[in-house]
Chains A and B, each alone.
Chain A
Amino acid sequence: MYQYNTVDQKIVDERVEQYRRQVERYQAGLLSEEEFLPLRLQNGLYVQTQAPMLRVAIPYGTLNSKQVRMLGHIARKYDKGYGHISTRQNIQYNWPTIESTPDILADLASVQMHAIQTSGNCIRNTTTDQLAGVAKDELVDPRPYCEIIRQWSTFHPEFAYLPRKFKIAVSASETDRAATKLHDIALFLEKNENGELGFQVDVGGGQGRTPIISKTLYDWVPVEDILSCCEAILRIYNQHGRRDNKYKARIKITVKEMGLDKFREMVDAEWAVIRDTGLKLPEQEVERMKAFFPAFPVDADASSDNSFAAQEADNPAFARWVKQNTVETKHDGYRSVYVSLKAHGQPPGDVTDDQLEAIADFADEYSFGEARTTHNQNMVLPCVKQADLFALWNKLREQSLAMPNIGTLADMICCPGLDFCALANAHSIPVAEAINERFDDLDYLYDIGELEIKMSGCMNACGHHHVGHIGILGVDKKGESWYQITLGGSASNDASLGERLGPAVKQEDMADVVENLIKVYLEERQEGERFVDTVRRTGVAPFKARVYPEAA
């Protein structure tokens, strides 16, 4: 993976010092609350209900074991012993003090990490496929391009005070695993008819109060022009995005109000001016970046091992975990292992200091020293030899990290909700727990099959409810948490927004409601249909009739 050179290191070190001085000025009363706000935000520090929250960047979700260990250390030393993986592949700490944040950032800098631009109205962490580099269905490894974008966007002087936050995702695989079309700029690595590599460039995707699937701005842009293209988009947005209303300030609204054609015309004009400048990306720079992401030095004979098949045959629980929580890689005899952060009794995406340290050890022992975070709030050991899977499974089980529930109903995306977040209107973690308790029979979960439940505690949609197969949005009704349900959303290649089922339901009824939805699906489904496929075929009517019988 990418290794800092002296320039990178100097930049993050100087950032720590700059931030330390800012905190000192804030504490000395030389910076007002309002002035300190964007400064702390651009260093990842929020002020939440109970304590500050620090969001640490994990560029495109890739970590080495040393970094994972440091994340565990930070959880232990500065927090209450855990962190929370976010839907943008970052990690959040809920309990640090403001005074400790410069030290945390210094610790992070010592392992080539930072919290730069993890919040604020700037270009955020670039995200991608958690299986990058090993996925069977990928065209190329997207990470060299993500790193190029990371460097271009880090401390971009012109785009630190945009109308609103700005998120970029890159997908290079047949199956989009990064919710790419829900991003402000969505980049799809593709080849043109001449076999040359480039990007399909989409703009204007996003969630929040006005969810919109991105629209294609350019069908194909050569790799060498991708930075000038992005810069032209940002420059038009910076000048023309709305600043009068924060709920209409994302680029999705700019594009919607202006119209895609008019927006493209403006970008075209700007792009023409800057396309052949220093922004041109030379081939040798792409090659230099690619060299940081070599294929893992796998054992070519890994698939000749017989122990794996025998262990699967002897141990149904292991076989079930292999089927549910691992996927084949492009290397014969190696699989990617999903480390489930969705054990019962813990908030989805939470990971403890001990677990992080264990994952770091597993990465060293079994996965070439690398781990990944996913937008579904799990982690991944990207490349594990099949002969090692049984041993790894046993060790993961000891850490409660082997719940075989990846891709099932129990693999929920869930925001922190009212328990932690100052913006939330409703609880989300207790609802996830109630649903988990109701569906604790694994065979039942497997029969239900692939089902994405996504839940947000307010309409800011951090829990991606618009694109859940079942989406759950918490709302406040006279101090009580109520929930609106949507069905049929998707964040993948077939991205779509869910359809509202009916009036909001009470917190204590949520497990019943989900159970009723599942029963309708099991009755209605045809051969091979996932929940979302059935919803798309039948529409929401049969589901609605079951959940709201009195209205039928």
Chain B
Amino acid sequence: MTNLIIDGQLAENTFTHLDDDAAIPANGDISVSATRWLEEAETLAAHDGTVAPRLNGADELLNVVAKLHKLEVVCLEFPAFADGRCYSFATRLRRAGFEGQIRALGNVLRDQMFYMQRVGINAFEVDEGRDAEAAIESLSDFSETYQAASDNPLPVYRQA
């Protein structure tokens, strides 16, 4: 069963997340580390399939922001659920005008998804062994929010 949620719906996962030493397949959707994405930019540009840079909080986001207009998907990797750096990355990506998919990978638990959704993450690869379908419910844990975020630029007191 799929572990992927896109825009609140279960979806088939077409992506392969490649390690840095893994060969690039002939075709198909792939993600590569931010480093590889920069170093092998020319080769990857010719790839038959979607190529997504995969960042963790230690990477330099500005390199990606500079080429956002060419991207359909950006992957944000949470090495541990307690590592919250990529929440700020998602905020910055949406602020830069990125309208494509921002996908959370790694230690993605349903209890984090409401917050992730608010900062602009719209696709979730739920941690292995978890029930992705049940996790969808968590996206509607709250019906009201106080502060401005990527999902709503207005704080509660400016909402009608």
Contacts and interface: CB of A to CB of B under 8 A. Distances in A.
Q: Do A and B come from one complex?
A: yes
Contacts of B158: 278, 282, 285
Contacts of B155: 151-152, 227, 278-279
A157 B88 contact: no
B23 interface: no
A538 B92 CA distance: 54
Contacts of B156: 7, 151
Contacts of A161: 81-84, 87, 112
A277 B82 contact: no
Interface in A7-30: 7, 10-11, 14-15, 18, 22
Nearest to B121: A157
A154 B145 CA distance: 9
Contacts of A7: 144, 156
Interface stretch (A93-101, A235-243, A293-301, A416-424): A235-243
B88 A239 contact: yes
A165 to B, nearest CB: 12
Interface in B100-148: 109, 111-112, 114-119, 141-148
A59 B31 CA distance: 45
A5 to B, nearest CB: 9
Nearest to A228: B148
B88 A238 contact: yes
B81 A35 contact: yes
B144 A10 contact: yes
A278 B149 CA distance: 9
B95 interface: yes
Contacts of B115: 155, 157-158, 160
B144 A277 contact: no
A321 interface: no
Nearest to A17: B141
A105 interface: no
Contact of A14 (B57, B141, B146, B153): B141
A238 B141 contact: no
Contact of B87 (A121, A238, A243): A238
B143 A10 contact: yes
A273 interface: yes
B141 A278 contact: no
Contacts of A39: 111
Given A151-B156, A278-B155, A285-B158, 17 more contacts: A39-B111, A121-B82, A151-B155, A153-B147, A156-B146, A157-B87, A157-B115, A157-B117, A157-B119, A158-B118, A158-B149, A160-B115, A161-B87, A161-B112, A239-B88, A282-B158, A285-B157
Interface of B: 57, 81-85, 87-89, 91, 95, 109, 111-112, 114-119, 141-149, 153-158
13 contacts: A11-B146, A35-B109, A39-B111, A151-B147, A155-B142, A157-B119, A158-B87, A160-B115, A162-B84, A238-B84, A239-B89, A243-B57, A279-B155
Interface of A: 7, 10-11, 14-15, 18, 22, 35, 38-39, 121, 151-162, 227, 235, 238-239, 243, 273, 277-279, 282, 285, 288
